[in-house]
Amino acid sequence: MDPLRIKTTSLPERRTDVTFHIIDDEALIYDPDRGATHRLNSTARFIWEHCDGTSCCETIAREMTGVWDTPQDRACDDVVSAVGEMVDNGLLKVKRN
Amino acid sequence: MGAAITSQLEVAPLSVERNHPGAVRDYVAASAPDFIRLRLGVIDIEIESTIAGLADEYASLYHGYANHDSDAHIAVRVERGRSHYTMGRRFIVSGSEGRMFSVRRVEEVLPHVEWALNWEVVRRMDSYLQLHAGVMERDGVGVVFPASPGSGKTTLCAGLLSRGWRFLSDEFALIDSEGMIHPYPKALCIKEGSFEVMEHLGLPMVSPRRYRKGKKGRVAYVNPRVVGSNGIGERCQLRHVVFPKFEQGATPRIRSISRGETGFELAQLSFNLRKKGNEGMGMMMSALQHADCHRLVSGDIDATCELLESSLDGITS
């Protein structure tokens, strides 16, 4: 993943043709096109659920700090990193960069 | 984070051995085909064979499974033929999509028929989500042991069978849309390294004949009804998922894992999730809804079974 590709102003949006299954505090996403299953821990699940195409990474990070005791800059790094990984795995698209 | 789904079914090696005249001697061609019809749990099978002797072997291997009532869900044919490559004499095993295996030695025939039946289940029994797993039941509690080949799930199933658990399969967990698991009680295929364990467990192997099955080498079979007709389990609720891994000389140990980790790994051990897509994933989630999940390191078979019986909720030892 190129860490510079995703910015704090990026607007990540979930793919709608994958299935999302909440299982305890984790989630599994099944991508029928690739026949691939993805496992999200609680943080990644939170980020995925907030990737609605209207919230930028910075906004999602701010939401995270309300749930986890994490500084905003650290949360921002986590969101950018997770979004980049999910984009690489074909689970998200980025509307604006 | 992501993982591609790959089938865990073993792939038979391509046979290009030269013909050895006289190698085929135990089975002779029958004048008319035998039709062997069996009911293995929820799957009715038919084997058409022009090889005299094979029907008798199947009759003893699956004593108590005869089916006279309904048409088969899957069918396999066995006949004499020629290798495509060397034109040498072969036993040909075919399924619904044509030739599946071509084997030279008589002791390879039955294991390859069994193998072909498994492939036909994968191809044709689409109403179920299929996982590569052993499945046992006790006190109405269904326990699934998903694992790749060589993890010791067949030996583990045999050990539990000998202690009064009921057998559903050592190869397939068949899960329906309500998340229930169904029986497909094929004979247990025992590798040479576990022959002594079967003797220790008091589970007799069906025939004095020893077979050969690809990479597994010498194998023999145990009919799960050997412990009585009560040895076969019925449709049941999945309550536990246990990923077994055999380690020679290890002290058996078990630990809980999350259902997320379990679902992720089960997806990779499914034969047909790719085919069933989102529906299959939903079936798996339904099945996991009431399941406790564990990872087991197995060693000595008695100690391993005792550990399971003392660790799994709902199971009485």
pTM of the model: 0.87
pLDDT value, residue A2: 55
pLDDT value, residue B268: 95
- pLDDT cut 70: percent of chain B above it: 90
Mutate to test the interface with A, among B281, B283, B289, B290 (most CBs of A within 10 A): B281
What are the beta bridge partners of residue B52? B28
Q: Give ipTM to 2 decimals.
A: 0.88
pLDDT value, residue B48: 93
Minimum Cα–Cα distance from B291: chain A residue: A23
A89 CB neighbours in chain B (<8 A) are 1-2
pLDDT value, residue B87: 74
Q: Is the pLDDT of residue B26 over 50?
A: no
- State how far the alpha carbon of B58 is from the alpha carbons of A59, B92, B106, B187, in Å: 66, 17, 14, 10
Q: With b meaning 16 or more CB within 10 Å and e meaning fewer, what string describes B115-126?
A: bbbbbbbbeebe
Name residue, tokens 């002594």: B196
DSSP SS3 for B106: helix
pLDDT value, residue B4: 37
CA distance B178 to chain A (A): 16
DSSP SS3 for B237: strand
Cβ distance A19 to B282 less than 8 Å, yes or no, reads yes
For residues A47 and B22, what is the distance between their CA atoms, to the nearest angstrom? Answer: 68
User: In order of start, what are the domains of chain A with their CATH numbers?
Assistant: 8-89 (3.90.930)
Q: Is the pLDDT of residue B5 over 70?
A: no
pLDDT value, residue A26: 95
Average pLDDT over residues B302-315: 95
pLDDT value, residue A15: 94
Asked if A35 and A42 count as a contact pair (C-beta separation under 8 A), the reply is no
Cβ distance B278 to A39 less than 8 Å, yes or no, reads no
Q: Is the pLDDT of residue B269 over 90?
A: yes
What are the beta bridge partners of residue A13? A52, A93
- pLDDT cut 90: percent of chain B above it: 66
User: What would the pLDDT profile of B290-302 be if each residue is shown by its tens digit?
Assistant: 999 999 999 999 9
Where is pLDDT greater, at B13 or B85? B85
Average pLDDT over residues B191-197: 92
Tell me the backbone φ, ψ of residue B238, rounded to 5 degrees. Answer: -75, 120
| CA-closest candidate to residue B132, choices B236, B267, B30, B278 | B267
Asked if B110 and B212 count as a contact pair (C-beta separation under 8 A), the reply is no
Average pLDDT over residues B83-104: 88
Minimum Cα–Cα distance from B277: chain A residue: A32
Q: Is the pLDDT of residue B18 over 50?
A: no
Fold of B129-316: Rossmann fold (3.40.50)
Of A23, A32, A86, the CB nearest to B288: A23
For residues B140 and A94, what is the distance between their CA atoms, to the nearest angstrom? Answer: 49
Mutate to test the interface with A, among B1, B257, B264, B292 (most CBs of A within 10 A): B1
> Is A27 within 8 Å of chain B by CB?
yes
The residues spanned by each domain of chain B are: 8-124, 129-316
For residues B278 and A29, what is the distance between their CA atoms, to the nearest angstrom? Answer: 10
B273 CB neighbours in chain A (<8 A) are 30, 35, 37
pLDDT value, residue B30: 56
Q: Is the pLDDT of residue B2 over 60?
A: no
Q: Is the pLDDT of residue B309 over 50?
A: yes
CA distance B94 to chain A (A): 28
pLDDT value, residue B148: 92
Band of residue B20 on the pLDDT scale cut at 50, 70, 90 = very low
**Type of residue numbered A97:** N
Band of residue B166 on the pLDDT scale cut at 50, 70, 90 = very high
Cβ distance B4 to A36 less than 8 Å, yes or no, reads yes
Average pLDDT over residues B258-287: 95
Average pLDDT over residues B20-29: 41
For residues B267 and B290, what is the distance between their CA atoms, to the nearest angstrom? Answer: 17
Query: Could you say which residues of chain A have pLDDT below 70?
Result: 1-4, 96-97
Q: What angle do CA B270, B114, B157 make, to 5 degrees?
A: 60
Lowest mean pLDDT among B11-15, B69-73, B108-112: B11-15
Q: Is the pLDDT of residue B265 over 90?
A: yes
